[in-house]
Chain A
Amino acid sequence: MPSVRVLLFASYADALGASAIDVELTPGARVRDILSSVLARSGAHRLPPSPMVAVNAEYAQMDDLVTERDEVAIIPPVAGG
């Protein structure tokens, strides 16, 4: 089964105990499907139900398609400056 690399940061990385995880990719998978898989993981109850997601370092929409060449990231509330 192909998979996609999902990056985690800050409090989300702490919650899931990893800074990156591989998520199985079904054909035609969209951002919302990847997010559902991540939110089903152990520790993910500490994440909000609909966090921001980026694909290839740009903010993504829930129905954007994802392929195994993409880099997905779950983005905690940003706190720069």
Chain B
Amino acid sequence: MRTALVRLPIDVSALLGEVTCPACGASSIFLGTVRELNEGRAVQGIDYTAYDAMAKGQMDHIAREAAERFGTEHIVIEHRLGFLALGEVSVAIAVAHERRAPAMDATRYIIEELKRRVPVWKREHYADGSREWVDPTRTYAELAK
């Protein structure tokens, strides 16, 4: 089990190699990537920042919870910080397990909890030159005002 905040591109095949094991019949991976449109605005890239100590602590909590809940220690979570261009990987979660269902369920659990609890923030850079912090608690109706 390992978690990390990283500032260089995430090596996805290295993560897969890290979690796989002889007893594992399934490896599951989730990648979050920077998309070109958010709420209808053209995005050029995203600047990710974090409360590093707390983000690392929360990622550790989540990895431990997933290990206990789904019965595997073969878990790696990496979240990237800094400026990311379109298509770059912002978060990668790799889980290996004897069976495919818990491998996929653990991956899903980790990304949902990460998005709910890990103190990471993103400032989108738009094609028109403006920048804004993303606030997932604001509804589209509020954003459109």
A positions within 8 Å CB-CB of B: 7, 9-11, 14, 54, 57-59, 73, 75-81
Contacts and interface: CB of A to CB of B under 8 A. Distances in A.
Given A14-B133, A75-B51, A81 B121 contact: no
Contact of A78 (B53, B90, B120): B120
B136 interface: yes
Contacts of A73: 51, 54, 119
Contact of B114 (A7, A9, A14, A80): A80
A76 B55 CA distance: 13
Per DSSP, are chain B's interface residues mostly helix, strand or loop, or mixed? Answer: mixed
B48 interface: yes
B135 interface: yes
Contacts of B118: 78, 80
Interface of B: 32, 48-51, 53-55, 57, 79, 90-91, 111, 114-123, 133-137
Contacts of A81: 32, 79, 90-91, 111, 114-115, 120
Nearest to B115: A81
B115 to A, nearest CB: 5
A80 B79 contact: yes
Nearest to B50: A80
A80 B51 contact: no
A77 B32 CA distance: 18
Nearest to A77: B137
Given A57-B51, A76-B135, A80-B91, A9 B32 contact: no
